[in-house]
């Protein structure tokens, strides 16, 4: 028998966010057990972004770094950010759209890092988290007539700007990855849309999707052809 209460409860429960936080925490436990989250060999074994291995065919390293962290502080900062941003984002976009935005933002950030930071190794969920901020920026642009959405977008735009400025004064920060995550989040959010808020023009969705695909391909070819 159909239970509308159960459906409503499932719709309002951010179980994708909970799942991502739990998976990220479990991966950190695995890092620790295998030799430590600051051990480069462990990070490489579990999927950190490292260009020579990607160029050797390990393309899955564009997504796995989003689940790895270097040190407990790194994990806690990203875990808390994912929890709070994820709950809001998942409620607005819905479960599967939120998951797509998170994963594609992570890929976009790691592709940008692959293209512009070829000599470093990187790991962390910040590429995807910045992508969630980019998704809110898209909402502010697409639904600017909605005062609540516009205000929320402005807050997250300010948060992203503050974080990027802080990154300039911090060592070991993957700036290309963060910028790539924001841009990727904006583009993929505009592609999948936010039906709970309203419809987006199909032409806009197609254009943003194509820009995302061709942009990622161009960045990958930039590094592949330039090695």
Question: Dihedrals φ, ψ of 121, to 5°?
Answer: -110, 140
Question: Dihedrals φ, ψ of 116, to 5°?
Answer: -110, -5
Name the DSSP letter for residue 121. E
* Cβ proximity of 34 and 42 under 8 Å: yes
Q: Which of 95, 126, 171, 203 is catalytic?
A: 126
Which position has the token pair 């988290």? Answer: 129
Question: Dihedrals φ, ψ of 49, to 5°?
Answer: -75, 115
Q: Which of 74, 105, 122, 178 is catalytic?
A: 178
178 in catalytic set = yes
CB atoms within 10 A of CB 199: 10
69 in catalytic set = no
Q: Collapse the DSSP code of 48 into the 3-class scheme (helix H, G, I; strand E, B; otherwise coil) and give the result.
A: coil
Active-site positions read 126, 178
């Amino acid at each position: 028998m159909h239970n509308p209460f159960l459906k409503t409860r499932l719709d309002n429960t951010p179980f994708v966010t909970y799942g991502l936080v739990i998976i990220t925490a479990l991966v950190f436990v695995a890092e620790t057990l295998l030799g430590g989250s600051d051990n480069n060999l462990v990070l490489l074994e579990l999927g950190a972004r490292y260009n020579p291995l990607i160029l050797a065919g390990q393309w899955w390293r564009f997504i796995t770094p989003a689940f790895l962290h270097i040190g407990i502080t790194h994990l806690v900062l990203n875990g808390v950010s994912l929890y709070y941003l994820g709950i809001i984002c998942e409620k607005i976009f819905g479960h599967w759209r939120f998951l797509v935005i998170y994963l594609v933002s992570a890929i976009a950030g790691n592709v940008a890092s692959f293209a512009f930071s070829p000599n470093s190794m990187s790991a962390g969920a910040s590429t995807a988290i910045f992508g969630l901020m980019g998704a809110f920026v898209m909402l502010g642009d697409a639904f600017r007539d909605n005062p609540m959405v516009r205000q929320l977008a402005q807050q997250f735009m300010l948060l992203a700007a503050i974080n990027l400025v802080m990154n300039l004064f911090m060592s070991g920060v993957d700036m290309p990855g963060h910028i790539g995550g924001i841009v990727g989040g904006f583009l993929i959010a505009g592609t999948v849309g936010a039906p709970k808020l309203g419809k987006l023009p199909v032409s806009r969705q197609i254009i943003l999707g194509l820009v995302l695909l061709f942009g990622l391909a161009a960045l990958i070819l930039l590094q592949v052809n330039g090695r």
